[in-house]
Every structure is written in structure tokens, then in C-alpha cells.
Structure 1
Amino acid sequence: MTGNEILERIRAIFEENFAIAPERVTLETHLFNELDLDSIDAVDLAIKLQEMTGRRIKPEEFRSVRTVADVVVAVESLLAEQE
């Protein structure tokens, strides 16, 4: 899965689960400041990413995620573990 494919999947997750328009979700978008996610939303996002990748996300790995680009990198590393 490419970075662009991951971004599109993340946009779909935000739209379906958080009612956030896909055009608001760019690599530079800050999850908490710009998209108004809270800690519960972050847990929900982590669960959706686990479903998407089939891999468990360790909480300590997800704590440093701040932007959509960080989410893409986290998903890429989860997918790389499968190979």
C-alpha cells in the first residue's frame, strides 16, 4: 500500500467515524488542534487503524502521533512488519 493509498484510507476513516470532510485531512493537518480530536477519538482512530492493517498498535508508539503524516508513517511501519 502506498502513502497516497494510506492517506485515502485515513480520509475515509475520518469521514465515516468523525464526520470530518476528506479535504480537511492533509498530511500537514494536526489531529488535535485542527481536527479537534480528543484522547477518546485517538483511541478510536487507533482501533480503526488496527482493523485496517490487521496489526496491533502499541500505545507507546501512537502517543507521538500528532499530524496526519505521523499517522501515515505509523501505518507504513505496521504494514512493513507484515512483510
Structure 2
Amino acid sequence: MTDVSKDQVFDQVKDALVELFELDSADIVPEAHLYTDLDLDSIDAVDLVVHLQNVTGKKIQPAEFSTVRTVDDVVNAVAELLKED
């Protein structure tokens, strides 16, 4: 996955949230808060990170995800990782 647009990353993140947590795709918008709007907890966040590592082939450092609060934050973090080649 190189030269990936943020829209493509968003689609990957959205697919992951639907697949892993059985969320309604209509609820997954960039400004949705992971913990309050989507009812994820810290264990869910770890599952999401592991899934995204598998999809991207990139190692995601926990510190990079410590500030993630919204779907858009996840997209930005993954997009930054993908740029690091």
C-alpha cells in the first residue's frame, strides 16, 4: 500500500471498524469519536491497531496512537505511517 490517498485510508479504517466491531458504517464519519460515539474501549483500540498493522504491513508504535481520539485521527496516523517508506 504505497501512494494511498486519505480517502483510501478512511475506507480501510471504516471497513476495519465495521468488520471488527460490527459498527454501522453510517456511524463511521471522520469526526466520530472512537470512545464516546463508537463505544470502543482501550482493548478495541488495540485490536484496531493490530488489524491496521496487518493491513498496512507497518509497525504502529503505541505512542503514535496515544493521541488518537477520532476516526480522522486514525486515518491521519495511518496515512503518516504509509508515507514513511
Does the pair score TM above 0.5? yes
User: Which has the higher relative contact order, 1 or 2, with Cα contacts under 8 A spaced 6 or more apart?
Assistant: 2
Tell me, in whole angstroms, the C-alpha distance in 1 between the residues paired with 2:19 and 2:54. Answer: 14
Structure 2 unaligned regions, length at least 5: none
- Structure 2 residue 11 is the aligned partner of structure 1 residue 8: yes
- Structure 2 residue 45 is the aligned partner of structure 1 residue 45: no
Pairwise CA distance, 1:35: 0.4
- Structure 2 residue 22 is the aligned partner of structure 1 residue 33: no
Pairwise CA distance, 1:32: 0.3
State which of 75, 79, 84 in structure 2 corresponds to 1:81: 84
Tell me, in whole angstroms, the C-alpha distance in 2 between the residues paired with 1:43 and 1:77. Answer: 18
Aligned length: 82
TM-score (normalised: structure 2) = 0.93
Tell me, in whole angstroms, the C-alpha distance in 1 between the residues paired with 2:7 and 2:64. Answer: 22
Pairwise CA distance, 1:52: 1.5
Tell me, in whole angstroms, the C-alpha distance in 2 between the residues paired with 1:78 and 1:3. Answer: 12
Q: Which portions of structure 1, spanning 4 or more consecutive aligned residues, are displaced by more than 3 angstroms?
A: none
Structure 1 unaligned regions, length at least 5: none
Pairwise CA distance, 1:22: 1.1
| Root mean square deviation, CA, Å | 0.7
TM-score (normalised: structure 1) = 0.95
